[in-house]
Amino acid sequence: MILTAKEISKEVKKGNITIDPFDEKCLKPNSYIYHLSPNLIQVLDVGDKRKKAKTKELLIKERGLILEPNKLYLGTTVEEIGSKKFVTSLIGRNSIAKLGMFLQITADLGQLGKAHRWTLEIKVVQRLRIYPNMEIGQVTFWVPKGDIDIQGTEFYAKQNEPYPSQLYNEKGK
């Protein structure tokens, strides 16, 4: 079950959903619009999943930053978002998608757990200028079924900066 805007607002007030800062104006009928933080990293080398990726830090200035196709960028939300009760899913806004931005490369599903600024996986089809704090995506909240164990999600949930993949560090690689 997906939460409607009224329900999202209610659960934010009850403290079951964290969206910080929260602005009623960003509520859509069944989602909440989040913004892009000015700190971005470009992943320079993902040739081998067993090695740590090389990255470069970028800052999105007021005049904008042009993203290039065939490159991978990681950003974060401005907002701290999370819930221990409702499952989050982060996707791009329709208006930005129309300009060819993939926001989350297939991994749109969040884990139940602590609120943090979510890492965004970004790729563009054509060259696209982006701006700091722009409305970039929307988050939805889903009612889960079953017992909740949030211990496994503590690690990524601590990260508030664009955070590269830790796949190289995983057991059984």
Partner 1 sequence: MILTGKEIQKEVEKGRIIIDPFNIEDVETNSYDFHIDSTLYTYKKDILDPTEENPLEEIKIPASGLILSPKKIYIGKTKEVIGSDYFVPIIKGRSSTGRLGIFVNITADLIDLGSIQRPTLTIHVVTPVKIYPNTKIGQVTFWVAK
Cβ-based neighbours of 101, under 8 Å, separated by 6 or more:
67, 92, 122, 123, 124, 125, 128, 130, 136
The verdict on 94 binding partner 1 (CB under 8 A) reads yes
Closest approach of Cβ 170 to partner 1, in Å?
25
How far apart are the C-alpha atoms of 143 and 17, rounded to whole Å?
12
Say how far residue 70 (Cα) sits from the centre of its chain.
20
The verdict on 37 binding partner 1 (CB under 8 A) reads no
Give the contact letters, 99-138, x = binds to partner 1 (CB under 8 A), - = no. xxxxxx---x----------------xxxxxxx--x--xx
DSSP count for the chain of H helices, then E strands: 2, 13
The verdict on 66 binding partner 1 (CB under 8 A) reads yes
How far apart are the C-alpha atoms of 96 and 153, rounded to whole Å?
29
Point out the residues that are catalytic. Answer: 121
Q: Can you tell me which of 35, 85, 91, 156 binds partner 1, judged by CB under 8 A?
A: 91
Closest approach of Cβ 169 to partner 1, in Å?
27
The verdict on 4 binding partner 1 (CB under 8 A) reads yes
Residue number, 83 or 138, with CB nearest to partner 1? 138
Number of residues that this document lists for the chain: 173
Residue number, 46 or 114, with CB nearest to partner 1? 46
How far apart are the C-alpha atoms of 35 and 133, rounded to whole Å?
5
Cβ-based neighbours of 15, under 8 Å, separated by 6 or more:
none
Binding site for partner 1 (CB under 8 A): 1-4, 7, 28-31, 64, 66, 69, 91-104, 108, 125-131, 134, 137-138, 140, 143
